[in-house]
Each structure stands twice: as structure tokens, then as C-alpha cells.
Amino acid sequence: MDHSILKDQLFALYDGELDPASRRDVEAHLAGCRECRESYDRWAMTAKAIFPAPKPATSEFFVRTVMNRIHELESPRPVRRWDLSLRWLVPAIGMAFALFLAIMPASQTMSMDNFLFQEMSGHLSWVYSNRSPNNDETLQFIMGETQ
């Protein structure tokens, strides 16, 4: 095997990007080639030293809440392609945002940013989820209500 091409393959193996047949070939080569094994291990060590697993996020609770809502919104229903008639929702998001800012109590303990992002994520995923909202959802959305 050509070692220059193999270098790409080794990285692809490390990244889990090889199809099963190529993976078997590369693994078979690795088993018999010390140079490639060392090269593979060298990268694995470097990556581990430089890119440790990310620290847990500080706003785990919000993330969970957002995800729950997104899952609710994305539960299987008749799917329709995002169409132009939904474009009015773009200014609507602005209205909802403005309303949101206006009614947000000052004593809110969570950070405003987190809350806005949470709102935004939830609504956007819904707006772009390839289906039309029903009237209740639209109303809730415009009112800036959380579900």
C-alpha cells in the first residue's frame, strides 16, 4: 500500500469515515505495519492532549428544555415542504422577540441571552421543520408563549 494515500486513510479510520471494506483493509494493514501504527497512535495521542472532551455546559437545564420542545415539535406528522407562504413568519419572529423583551420580568434569574436563545431555537426549528404550523401553534408563537 502507498503510504502517502494511506495517511489519508488512517485519518479517515480515526474519524470513523471509512466504509466497512476499506476499514477492514486499513486495519489489516495496520496490524502488519508498525510505521502506520505509530503514525495512527501519534495522532490519537496528540488529539487527546490538545482536544480533551469538552467541559459540560453550564446551562444543561436550558438545553434539555429546548430539546424536549424541539422533539415535541418534530414528532411525526404529515410533512410538507417549507413553502413561501411561511415567509411571513420571519417578521413574526421579530414581533415575538420584541414582545418577549417587553414582557420579560427584570427579576428573571436565568440570563436573558439563554432565554432568548432557547426561545429562538425552539421557534426556528419549528418554522423550518418542513411542515406548516396549525393555528394554535401560530397563535402561541405570535404571543410569545412557551409551550
* Interface residue list for Zn ion (CB under 5 A): 33, 35-36
Chain centroid to CA 8: 27
Residues 6 or more apart whose Cβ sits within 8 Å of residue 121? 66, 70
How many residues can be counted in the chain?
147
Binding mask 17-56 for other proteins (x = CB under 8 A): x------------------------xx-xxxxxxxx-xx-
Q: Which of 128, 139, 143, 146 binds other proteins (CB under 8 A)?
A: 128
Q: How far apart are CA 28 and CA 6, in angstroms?
A: 12
Minimum distance of other proteins from residue 51's CB (angstroms) = 4
Q: How far apart are CA 94 and CA 107, in angstroms?
A: 23
The size of the interface with other proteins (CB under 8 A), counted in residues, is 42
Minimum distance of other proteins from residue 30's CB (angstroms) = 17
- The answer to whether residue 140 forms part of the interface with other proteins (CB under 8 A) is no
